[in-house]
Amino acid sequence: QVIKCKAAVLWEANKPFSIEEVEVAPPKEHEVRVKIMATGICRSDDHVITGAMVMPFPIILGHEAAGVVESVGQGVTAVKPGDKVIPLFVPQCGECKNCLNTKGNLCSKTDLGANAGLMPDGTTRFTCKGKAIHHFLGTSTFTEYTVLHESAVAKIDSAAPLEKVCLIGCGFSTGYGAAVQTAKVEPGSTCAIFGLGGVGLSVIIGCKAAGASRIIAVDINSDKFAKAKELGATDCINPKDFNKPIHEVLMEMTGGGVDYSFEVIGRTDTMTAALASCQYNYGVSVIVGVPPAAQKITFDPMLLFTGRSWKGSIFGGWKSKDAVPKLVADYMKKKFVLDPLITHTLPFTKINEGFDLLRTGK
């Protein structure tokens, strides 16, 4: 049965979302149709609007969500109608090289590449005004109903509050995992976090959970400092308050650089600054923010020659299908908080206002 429902369609770049009636096709073999109950707004969605992340239009964005299975296609065994689930923008097929390797988590079935904007079979499940609408990262959560491949769905605790655990679908897991999984922050270490949005704050939660003794939060918006401190930052610095490069400030503050630095913005200048601010011989710098399309980094190779490590992290290094249910269970056991990451709760029709709040740093 085709479902008609509301969705926020982005018809072209740099325009607001348009709330439209869309038709959502039934799930095909190994697919799941999900009723989205809550979705978060992430800067990566905004990157598509501005062109910093290139995707085909028209498109239904959104990738951080939680919902309930409405129906399943043939051959689906992992979930059934009524199950609470979190969509996975990094799927876990369990068969590709990255899934089979203990160190890997970026499943090759991800939509970051060849088939961008379509289901794994190369088609779409969304139609609006007779036009095919593209999917986003295999998830597309800015709609009342969406269709996912079964490798991109994690079944979670039926008691979990969906309007909170939706953050485990991207922002929280991405930041927390960058600290505890990718960097493997150690007790007593010193960390610097560049960018204090939802993901940056989640890095702070991870650094604190890992036992870091000093957590330095860096942002050009000082309004973000109170929340950073609430979540575990020991120092907060605004690069605008200094007349020298921020990496020099951090070097002086820490007597030679931090053990771990995290770039959680998605800018090339801050990526290089984060690298330069970690200890020259054994410092580790992790790129967490999505890099802007068509931009390159130029840096002095001596920065790496002396021993630093520069790493990337997608979805916090977690194997999605394995990790998401466990992270939800940890939240239910109060091992970490999510409430401070939620600043506003809006009805779906006010999605454009939500993006305005994101862009103004609120």
Q: Distance (Å, rounded) from C-alpha 101 to C-alpha 95? A: 10
DSSP 12: S
Q: Distance (Å, rounded) from C-alpha 345 to C-alpha 309? A: 39
Q: Using an 8 Å Cβ cutoff, are 185 and 207 in contact? A: yes
Q: Distance (Å, rounded) from C-alpha 344 to C-alpha 131? A: 33
- Catalytic: which of 170, 207, 236, 278? 170
47 catalytic per annotation:
yes
Return the SS3 of 88.
coil
- Catalytic: which of 47, 135, 149, 247? 47
Interior CA angle at 250 toward 247 and 256, to 5°? Answer: 100
158 catalytic per annotation:
no
- Catalytic: which of 44, 173, 261, 277? 44
44 catalytic per annotation:
yes
Chain center to CA of 36: 17
173 catalytic per annotation:
no
* E runs forming strands in the chain: 3-9, 18-24, 31-39, 65-72, 84-87, 126-128, 131-133, 145-149, 153-155, 190-194, 214-218, 235-237, 260-263, 284-287, 309-312
42 catalytic per annotation:
yes
- As annotated, the active-site residues are 42, 44, 47, 63, 170
